[in-house]
Structure 1
Amino acid sequence: MTPNKNLTPLSDHLCFSLYTTSRAIQRLYIPSLEKHSLTYPQYLILVSLYDLGKISVKRIGEELDLASNTLTPLLKRMEQHGLIKRERSEEDERVVLLTITDFGKKIREESCDLPQILLNKSSLSDKEWNELARLLEKLHQDTKT
């Protein structure tokens, strides 16, 4: 079988580069996350709740681009570990609201080193870092469905 010269090799796929970079960053964070018994998605939930306060499950799903079938088990485990509290809205019982507990806030504050871990590992200048962040946000906005 003759290779098709029009097909892009894996090394030239931007999506693959983003995927492997994301996985490498998450591996870099593992020691800090394990110290706090967190997974990366749980960490992101704590960061969001710490910043946004009481929000709906739907909103945090939108914020983190997580489907409810992924989010629900995560939230149940986090509630069992005392990191968050889930409660039904008084205005609409179909809506479940999330809040971070005092223990969750403590864990969030103790895990504040993750962004610095990445900065320390990176050889990007401040200008490059800011440009990368800007371009990634632009690409994200452009590709949202």
Structure 2
Amino acid sequence: MDPDELLKLDNQLCFALYSTHLALNQMYRKLLTPLGLTYPQYLVMLILWETTPLSVSEIGKRLFLESSTLTPMLKRLEKMQLIMRQRSTQDERQVFISLTAQGQQLKHQAQTIPELIQQHSQCDLQSLNELKQQLEDLRARLI
């Protein structure tokens, strides 16, 4: 390919990913606003709905976030009474996060979100799963 063509915005993988990310975030914002969650908070809740309690470092590892980024978000979720933060009795530096009853209840309200995202994408489940796998493979190669 011509070097000038390589530098065109529309030929950039990064821009395709970035602009898709923005569009997807707009869709999630519409769906999450009634739940009172931002997209990053939703990701934290997804992890905690799978397994609780978890340490801040375990959550950060799953989300590829540093604890300095995660801690303010967790404090907001705690203020919203969705999670509890508790210091480890064995190591004060370690903080464990668990769901409150209200946080667990929110899971029921969020259960329709994946299906709504699929519907809005106008893609079948197999295509979305294949795309997800391709993106996970790409991420693994880049890390």
Measure how far apart 1:81 and its partner are.
0.9
Q: Per the alignment, in what secondary structure is the counterpart of residue 4 of structure 2?
A: coil
1:139 aligned partner: 138
The 2-side partners of 1:130 and 1:45 are apart by: 21
Q: What TM-score does the superposition give when structure 2 sets the normalisation length?
A: 0.90
Higher relative contact order (CA 8 A, sep 6+): 1
Structure 1 unaligned regions, length at least 5: none
Measure how far apart 1:59 and its partner are.
0.9
Measure how far apart 1:6 and its partner are.
6.5
Q: What TM-score does the superposition give when structure 1 sets the normalisation length?
A: 0.89
Contact 2:85 2:95 in 1 (8 A): yes
The 2-side partners of 1:106 and 1:94 are apart by: 29
Measure how far apart 1:117 and its partner are.
1.5
Identity over aligned pairs, percent: 38
Measure how far apart 1:128 and its partner are.
2.1
Q: Which has the higher helix share?
A: 2
1:46 aligned partner: 45
Deviates more, 1:119-128 or 1:83-92: 119-128
Contact 1:56 1:95 in 2 (8 A): yes
Measure how far apart 1:69 and its partner are.
2.2
Q: How many residues align?
A: 141
Contact 1:29 1:117 in 2 (8 A): no
Structure 2 unaligned regions, length at least 5: none
2:18 aligned partner: 19
Measure how far apart 1:7 and its partner are.
4.7
- Deviation string, structure 1 residues 60-97 (Cα, Å, up to 9, x no partner): 01111122222111111110110000001122111001
Measure how far apart 1:109 and its partner are.
2.1
The 2-side partners of 1:6 and 1:125 are apart by: 33
Contact 2:118 2:124 in 1 (8 A): no
Give runs of aligned pairs for residues 86-101 of structure 1, distance below 5 A.
86-101=85-100
Give runs of aligned pairs for residues 113-124 of structure 1, distance below 5 A.
113-124=112-123
